[in-house]
Copies of this chain bind each other. A is one copy, B any other.
Amino acid sequence: MNTDVKSNGLSRREIIINGGMAVAGAAIASLGVLGGAKNAGAYASASIYKYKKLDPRAVGQVAYENYAKRWCASSVIAGFVEALKKEQAGAEWNDFPIDAYRWAHGGMAGWGALCGTMPGAGVIIGLVTKDTDTAEAMVNDLAFYYAYTELPSFTPAKPPKTEIHHMTMAGTPICHISIGKWMRAEGVDFLSDARAERCARVAANVAMEATGMLNDWADGKYVPKHKPLYNVIANGITSQNNCGDCHGHDVPGVVQTYPSLDK
């Protein structure tokens, strides 16, 4: 058992730097070796759902428009389903249970864990690609996109009721951190129309990015941008690369935003 507790005698900063990258090169070479999970090969699933290439901008716009009534996860799903119905990609889409996944909103029922836009897209990706390795690679690429892109860059077709002024890089797929960084930049609270406008646009961006991947895949030319399970191998645990957002003395202070009771 290769267990080496280094939390004593090293600064947290050193731990994070060493833990994050030191063995990444060598370890990635052994990507297939994942302990008790080594038997998890690629599986074809029995999904009946077909795909046709879509206009990313159209998918994003519908995702954006659905946010106020469906929140993040189901809004992304709605973007795909409406476009796939329009393209007549298969009768199965007609009754797709878009709202059966709404609980994934807000990092799962508001717990602030995983931003719901990605699992929303993941539902479509998993059902459409019917191959676990391809879906894994796409969702992984989507997490890299979400974490390391300044968002939201989407602008709605018509001017919105509430304009917003900032884009931020989350560094993570975690809802709480992603939203918190943007709220700080914009100077608004969570229960504001501006924050809702931001999340609606993020849903559009994620839907557009996923559409691009699926279009490439439909053309037989999707190539993963990032190594699946990179983070696991690099850090020796399921993880992200924004270690300092939690570990370390530089965790930002809290923007205290009480609910506005007078709305």
A100 touches B126 (CB 8 A): yes
The smallest C-beta distance from A168 to any residue of chain B, in angstroms, reads: 14
Partner-binding segment picked from A53-61, A148-156, A184-192, A215-223: A184-192
Q: Does the CB pair B33–A112 fall under 8 Å?
A: no
* Copies of this chain present: 2
Within 8 A of B (CB), among A96-152: 96-104, 106-114, 118-119, 122-123, 125-127, 130, 132, 135-136, 138-140, 143
A23 CB, nearest partner CB in chain B, Å = 5
Give Cα A221–Cα B114 distance, bound, in whole angstroms.
30
In A142-195, which residues have CB < 8 Å from any B CB?
Answer: 143, 162, 172-176, 179-180, 183-184, 187-193, 195
**A240→B103 CA distance, assembly (Å):** 15
What 1/0 flags go to A2-16 for Cβ under 8 Å of B? Answer: 111111100010011
- Tell me the minimal C-beta distance from A189 to chain B in angstroms: 5
Chain A, 14-45, CB within 8 A of any chain B CB: 15-16, 18-19, 22-23, 26-27, 30, 33-41, 43-45
Interface size, chain A (Cβ < 8 Å): 122
Alpha-carbon gap, A193 to B36, bound state (A): 5
The interface of chain A, by Cβ under 8 A from chain B, is 1-8, 12, 15-16, 18-19, 22-23, 26-27, 30, 33-41, 43-48, 67-71, 95-104, 106-114, 118-119, 122-123, 125-127, 130, 132, 135-136, 138-140, 143, 162, 172-176, 179-180, 183-184, 187-193, 195-197, 199-200, 228-233, 236-240, 245-249, 251-261, 263
